[in-house]
Every structure is written in C-alpha cells, then in structure tokens.
Chains A and B, each alone.
Chain A
Amino acid sequence: MKRRAAICVLPFLLTACAGEQSVLDPAGRDAQVLSDLFWVMLAGAVVLWLFVNGLIFYVTRIAPRPLGRRAAEALIIGGGVVFPTIVLGALLIYALSEMPNQRASGEGLEVRVMAHQYWWRVEYWPDGASEPVISANEIRLPTGQRSEITLNAERVIHSFWIPALGGKTDLIPGRQTRMSLEPVRAGQFRGQCAEFCGESHAYMAFGAVTMPPEEFAAWLEAEAAPAKPPEGNEATRGAALFLSEGCGACHAVRGTAASGAVGPDLTHLASRRTLAAGILPMEKAALRDWVSDPARFKPGVEMPGFDHLTDAELEALASYLMGLT
C-alpha cells in the first residue's frame, strides 16, 4: 500500500522538470545541447550502474567462486583502466565539441545587461543602432537567430541564467563578459541571478520572453516609443505625484521630465510580466505595496520606501504606473 502511494506521488515531483525555469524543458539551442548532454550522461550512468551492480550480483550470488589470476587481471585492467578511459574520453570530446557553440557570437541584435543590487538594466542594440532601447528586469529575444548578450555589473558579481534558453555567465564589475542565446521556440520563461550577490540574491530574478522575429520587431518599436500620457483623474494625479515627489531622480519615464538612471526605466513598466525583478505580479496592489515599502519584499534594496505618502497618493501613483504599458 505504502509503495503504491509513493508511486502515485512520483509524477508530481516530475512537474518541477517542466515550466518556465527548467533546464529539462529547453527552448533554446544552447539549452537543448545542455539538455542532450544531461540525458546522454544520465543514460550512460544508468547503463554503468546496472553493469556494475549486475557484476556484483553475479560474483556474490550466482557464481561465488575465486577468479583465476588471468581473468582477475583482465577485469581490473579492462574494467578499471581501459573502459573508463574510453568512456570518459568520448564524453569529454563530445562535451568539448559543444563548447564553441556556447561561445558563438551573435548576429544582429545585441542585448546589454547590467546587473545591479538587485535588478537588471537591459539595453537593446539592434544592428547598426546609434542608441539603445532601454528597459529593465525582462529580456525579450527573437526566435530563430543568435543574439549577442553583453554582460556587466555595478557593484558585485552576479550571474545571468535563463535555464530554458542556455547556460549561465557571470557579470563582473568593471569587466565586460559575453554570451549568446538562440531561442528556438516562442514562450515565456524565467531567469535568475545564479551567483550570491547580497541579502536579496534569491529575489533577483527576471522574466524572459521569446517571440517570432516580426513580433519582436514590433515589440521593440513599441518599447522605443515614449510613455503613454496618463488616462483618468487618478492616473493624472499619480503622474503629477511621480514628478513632484522625486521619483524622477532615479527612474526615467521617457517623454516626461523624469530621466533618472539609478533605478529601472519605467517607460513601459506595466508591459512587463513581473514587478521588482521577477518577484511580484504586475498588479496595482503589488505596485502600491512595493512603492510604500520595497524593503519588505527585498531586504537591502536600494529604493527608499515612500510610506510617508498617504494611501490615496500611493493608489494614484500605482494607477499611473499601471498605465505605463
């Protein structure tokens, strides 16, 4: 009975293998390679495990007698030296042969990512662009082409990782690193900082969206446009508050006086899937709570709390920000 219950539970554990942030559910060429490598390794490990245990079973239960010297030496040299050398050598050659692809340079689009404590500044530099389209906390990439990812960090070392699309690469302050990604399937994924970077390291995630090239081009054009003006009384009051309460010191909303570069660009904030670098849903209530006391959600965050504003003022601000699609 117990065993049957355990077997019923097993499939639920497997659900962790699919989803937005899984190496086992690849949506990019690099992730596919890593995934294949994993399965090959796993299959090999299973075969070896069965072989070694079978051998032990054979010599202890089926034919428990001493081996002759010749047979024993053949087993030790063959099974202990020759066989592992061949298997590990083959795996090494296979794995190394995949390395150049992981470092292949991108074509066309360059995405520059700057890691801050604890969020991501993202710049899109299409081929030949003289100035970037600036966004934050979400990476969008076209499918079917290899995009160059240039990485840098402000204060401490972080690591950039979208498990469904490829491997991880460190971001190092004062030093540029790079990688490239080639998504093969459109979808919504999740990335995560993969190098401990401070007390809110675990809360430093981001959304990743892959789209067909035409859709991506349309999105990028919309993203490059200035912010929409506020609609409705509450949002209009919120827009005025945004500019009178100092938000523009750190945040940019293109098309308004706010041009700060310390925090994330908010021009199209509400078009992102998540708030605060992948940790809150993009909803008005979450925005209000975040603005009021960000440290409650992200200890050590650089953004100060605005709980000196009244509830009505916070509501108005959130209403304005939710209109920035």
Chain B
Amino acid sequence: MRLRDLDLWTVGVVAAGAIVAALIGAALVVFLGLFNVSARDGHWPGVSWVLHTTFENSAELRAPPASEAPANLDSPAMVALGAGHFMSGCAMCHGAPGVARSATVQQMLPVPPHLSNVSEKFDASELFWIVHNGIKMSGMPAWPANRRDEVWPVVAFLQALPEMTPDEYSQLTSSETGFCAVCHGAGGVSENPHVPRLDILSKSYIAQSLAAYKSGARDSGIMAEALSHLPRAAIPDVAADFAATAPRGSAAPRTAEFDAGRALAFAEGDSHSVPACRACHGPWSEPLNPAFPSIAGQHAPYLEQQLRLWRKGNRGGGRAAELMYKAARDLTDEQISALAAYYSGLAPARLNDVAE
C-alpha cells in the first residue's frame, strides 16, 4: 500500500487509537503508581537540565523591566530589611553567610542552592521575579502576599550577599530583645527608615494591625511570615509590650517641604480633594480615637510607601481602611513626599499627644 492510498478515515482511526493507547498508558502510570517519585535516586538523565533551563528562561522572559527596581537597591537600610526577612523566611532552606543548610534540606530535589553568588547568575529583575513568584515543582514558594514593593529589600540583600561576612549577617539578623526587634529595633524604636517605629502607636492599633497581617487583611509578605511564628493568642501581649515604650525624640528643623505637608495636613488652601490628615492623625485639639495610628515622627520612607499603597488601593488594614483609600486616592507624588516630610518631622508622640 502506497502512502497516497491511505484515506483520511484510516489516518483518523489510527491517530485516535494512538491517543487512546497513550491515555490508557498514562492512566496506568498514575493509578498503579508505576512512576517512582523517590527523591533519593534523583531525576532521569537529562531531566534536571530540561527543568532548570526551562526555569531560567521562564524567569528571564517574565522578569519586570529594570525600571521597576527602586533606586536605593544598594542602600544599607534596604539590605538590612531584606536580611531580616531572609533570616525568618528563606535561610531555613538556603542557608546564609555562616549558616549551613541542614542535612535534611540537602536531600531536597532539587537542593535549594546556597545563594552567596546568586546575583552573579540572575540580575535584579530576575531575582525579583523568582522571589515574588516562586518556582513550580522545585520547592521554592511564592511570596506570601500580593504586594510587590517589599520584595525589593530581599533582592537588595541577595545582591549584597557575595561580600557579606558571617559576622555582618549575624549582626543584621540578631537582637538581644527578641525576634520583632531584629527589624523594629529595641522597644520598637526602629532605626531603619523602611521599618515603622512602633513606640508611637497605641496598644489597640498594634493589636489590630497584627491581626490584620495574620488574617491577610493587610497585605505584607514580610509581616505574614513574621506572624507565622506568633500564635494569635500572643498578639495582645506583644502589642502591650511595644505600647509600653514611651516615644522619645524631638522635632526636625522645618523645611519648605515640611510646610507644604503641613498645609495639606491642615487642609489649608483651596484644594477640595485632600482631606485634612490631622482630623484622624493629629495634631488635633479634641480627643481622637486611639484606633487611628499616630504617624508623628514616623520614618518618611515608610510613610511614603504606605501612602503609595493606599493610593493604589491595595494596602488593606483594619475595618476603617476605606477611610484611607478615599483620602489618599488623589494624592500626587509631590503631595506624598510633602506629607511624609511633615509628619516625619514632628516630634515622635502618641496620637493624642501629637503637637507642633
């Protein structure tokens, strides 16, 4: 029989038969357990190469443009924040400077690499994509939140890794006063401008925020991971601990930007689009509900980032979050930095003590 004698009907029957046979074969593998999933023996030859090459090319294709990376990616503060999160969420598999991977981790397939030189292999955008998305079938989890901005400190840390000594890493990731203090500082008085200081907040606000992080109502991968280590029942105690520190510090010298922020916070001028911040956050002549956070003396970069999240509409928080979505909706970048300059310039104080 020559090829041209094959009619379409015969071709169809043969193809359908082949598909059915393949499906039956696949079903036998799945239902009878014929494929050996043991991690002990590794992959068949070539499979590791196919999987790894697919992963690398996939990350390269999907990485965001370099312009999304913040300009301060090499700042010590970004590296420090990344180090804190790496210690709590990543080091258990990847190890760290002076921290070896455990024997069990080393039996994973694939073995999570020690990342000391990872930044030579992947650029910042690719690292960002890998940390935010994770990698299917490799054991690498996705970032435990939707937010993108807080992935960059981890990228900053990964880029600083090649030159980081075990001593430096240990300094960045340990604290005599407990786990929270690694990032938030002793008594919650954070020195890292990307990490909020907690001494100005009330017990009820801290407790409400921790509950929101834990439930996912407030979107943060760093805090979600940190709170995995904290039982819900312990939240009131932690809140009380931080609320016990009385805020100290003085006001910064006034600048033009401070004055611009003040005008916004007091709703001076003809603008009808920005609510007066002080009616919830002070300084205010009447008693305010302590469920609102004080932001007097809070770090400017943190305030700016939070305002950008509010404006974008995905910050999340407590039950009154809608107030801030509506309030921040129309803020411009200039207004955000002016407001941050104003409130960070005030003397650190609890909500009902905020004064100029």
Contact = CB atoms under 8 A, between A and B. Distances in A.
**Do A and B truly interact?**
yes
A246 B273 contact: no
B277 A249 contact: yes
Contacts of B285: 257
Contacts of B318: 308
Interface in B50-83: none
A302 interface: yes
A243 B292 contact: no
Given A116-B272, A261-B272, A304-B325, A246 B267 contact: no
Contact of A246 (B274, B279, B325): B279
Interface string B259-279: 000000001000111111111
B289 A244 contact: yes
Given A249-B267, A303-B326, A240 B272 contact: no
Interface in A257-289: 257-262
Given A244-B286, A244-B287, A257-B284, A249 B275 contact: yes
Give the secondary structure class of A's interface.
loop
Contacts of A305: 322
B276 A259 contact: yes
Interface string A66-92: 000000000000000000000000000
A245 interface: yes
A248 B279 contact: yes
B288 interface: yes
A255 to B, nearest CB: 13
Given A246-B323, A308-B320, A260 B275 contact: yes
A250 to B, nearest CB: 5
B323 A304 contact: yes
Q: Output the residue of B272, B279, B292 with the most chain A CB within 10 A.
A: B279
Given A260-B279, A262-B272, A262-B275, A304 B289 contact: no
Contacts of A259: 267, 276
Nearest to B273: A262
B279 A240 contact: no
A261 B267 contact: yes
A258 B285 CA distance: 10
Contacts of A307: 319
Contacts of A240: 286-287
A246 B290 CA distance: 11
Interface residues of B, dominant DSSP: loop
A259 B279 CA distance: 9
Contacts of A303: 326
B327 interface: yes
B315 to A, nearest CB: 14
B218 to A, nearest CB: 15
Contacts of A308: 318-320
A304 B286 contact: no
Interface string A20-51: 00000000000000000000000000000000
A262 B331 CA distance: 13
B280 interface: yes
A11 B278 CA distance: 58
B326 A304 contact: yes
Q: Which of A114, A249, A302, A304 has the most CB of B within 10 A?
A: A249
Contacts of B284: 243, 248, 257
A241 to B, nearest CB: 8
Nearest to A295: B322
A154 interface: yes
Interface in A106-152: 114, 116, 121
A303 B322 CA distance: 9
Interface in A154-177: 154
Given A240-B287, A260-B267, A308-B319, A248 B326 contact: no
Contacts of B287: 240, 243-244
A137 to B, nearest CB: 15
Given A257-B284, A304-B325, A304-B326, A247 B279 contact: yes
Contact of B276 (A121, A248, A304): A248
A99 to B, nearest CB: 33
Interface string A234-246: 0000001001111
A246 B273 CA distance: 16
B279 A258 contact: yes
Given A249-B275, A261-B272, A304-B326, 7 more contacts: A114-B272, A240-B286, A243-B287, A246-B323, A249-B276, A258-B279, A304-B323
8 contacts: A244-B287, A244-B288, A246-B279, A248-B284, A249-B278, A260-B279, A304-B326, A308-B319
Interface of A: 114, 116, 121, 154, 240, 243-250, 257-262, 302-305, 307-308
Q: Which 4 A-B pairs have the closest CB atoms?
A: A249-B279, A249-B275, A308-B319, A246-B280
